Amino acid sequence: MSDAPTSTIPIVTIAKGRATIRLNRPREHNRIEPDDLAVLRETFTRIDRDASIRVLVLTGTGKSFSSGYHIGALVERHGGTPPPREEVSFETVVDRLEALRVPTIAALQGSVYGGATDLALACDFRIGVAGMRMLMPAARLGIVYYPSGIERYVSRLGVAAAKRLFLTAEPIAAEEMQRIGYLDEIVPADELDARVDALAATLAGNAPIALAGLKRAINEAAAARLDRDALDRAIGSAQLDRRAPGMPWIVQPQDAVRARNLELVTRCQIETAVDRREHVIREAQQPGEAQIDAVLAP
């Protein structure tokens, strides 16, 4: 009888105001399959609609956080021809993660590869473990990356770091990941859960409406497209987002309505932007497991 771990769609748990998504394909280094995208998309929608959820943690099972998106699975599904544009939705899912109203934490329990580097980059905080590495192999695989991923790399890490990672297709170690701003913290592997729990508790304890407005404004400012009218509205909404010192935040019915309206506006903005983009993929290839093992081995 095999003791190999079972690969499944992401495991989602929601408890005490915190949502946790765990990528769960350890045998494939948590490679993201098309079916996984549907789970992520549905969970993000649920989070934006449920005002009682205050923070999201994204992590993985096993020695790697994720080896990226399995583009080859879509090509195989369509008999070797490129899939329809609407079905290649990894970009949309990552954009959706970045736009979530709640603060998000990527708990990187292992190395991160390919498109998964952007998945983690779309989170507000990234905590990694000693000995991990990251690799963006697009140039090596002949892939022209999608627009919003390029924008995130440049706005979060800077032009020099983005060029180094994309154009050399060489891995970097955890210390360099922290130096360029990819990692906020590096902790020993056995301390990761406790550090993530502490940060999640801090974020969940802050004013939810103010957090949503601040997060959106900071992301827009980083991308040089700050919507000042939306920020003014968020400032007005935050006047109601108050409590007495030492008292817990209480989610009122109007909070759920505001969260739902925010989710609808954000989703519309993302879908409109994505429709205008040209997503170019050339010579899409899926690296073999031996190659991934060699790259991600600590």
Beta bridge partners of 185: 127
Same domain, 121 and 213: no
Tokens, residue 264 = 């609808």
Residues 6 or more apart whose Cβ sits within 8 Å of residue 262: 48, 101, 212
36 CA to centre of own chain = 13
Same domain, 36 and 85: yes
Provide the edge-to-edge strand list for the sheet that holds 11-15. 11-15, 18-23, 55-60, 104-108, 125-129, 185-187
- Predicted pLDDT of residue 3: 60
Instruction: Decide: 103 and 126 in contact? Cβ < 8 Å.
Output: no
Same domain, 180 and 226: no
Rg (CA), the chain: 19
Query: At residue 266, what is the residue type?
Result: T
Same domain, 147 and 237: no
- Does a structural domain hold residue 284? yes
- Predicted pLDDT of residue 5: 77
Tokens, residue 125 = 């905080």
- Does a structural domain hold residue 6? no
Domain span holding position 109: 11-201+280-296
- Does a structural domain hold residue 3? no
Comparing C-alpha atoms, which of 151, 100, 148 is closest to residue 124? 100
What is the C-alpha separation between 46 and 248, in angstroms, rounded? 23
Same domain, 174 and 239: no
Same domain, 185 and 135: yes
CATH code of 39's domain:
3.90.226.10
- Predicted pLDDT of residue 222: 87
- Does a structural domain hold residue 4? no
What is the C-alpha separation between 206 and 17, in angstroms, rounded? 12
Torsion angle, alpha carbons of 64, 20, 37, 146, to 10: -70
- Does a structural domain hold residue 264? yes
Same domain, 114 and 237: no
Same domain, 134 and 210: no
Evaluated on CA atoms 152, 158, 163, 165, the torsion sign reads negative
Q: Which residue has the tokens 């999608």?
A: 146
> Mean pLDDT, 10 residues at a time, over the chain (298 residues)?
76 97 97 95 96 97 95 56 58 96 98 97 98 96 91 96 97 98 98 98 95 92 76 61 49 46 46 39 42 53
Same domain, 152 and 232: no
Tokens, residue 40 = 């992520």
- How many domains is the chain partitioned into structurally? 2
- Predicted pLDDT of residue 253: 42
Same domain, 239 and 175: no
SS3 (DSSP) at 71: helix
Cα 108 to Cα 34, 172, 193: the distances in Å are: 21, 15, 10
- Does a structural domain hold residue 96? yes
Same domain, 169 and 245: no
- Does a structural domain hold residue 215? yes
Comparing C-alpha atoms, which of 117, 179, 187, 189 is closest to residue 146? 117
- Does a structural domain hold residue 2? no
Same domain, 237 and 190: no
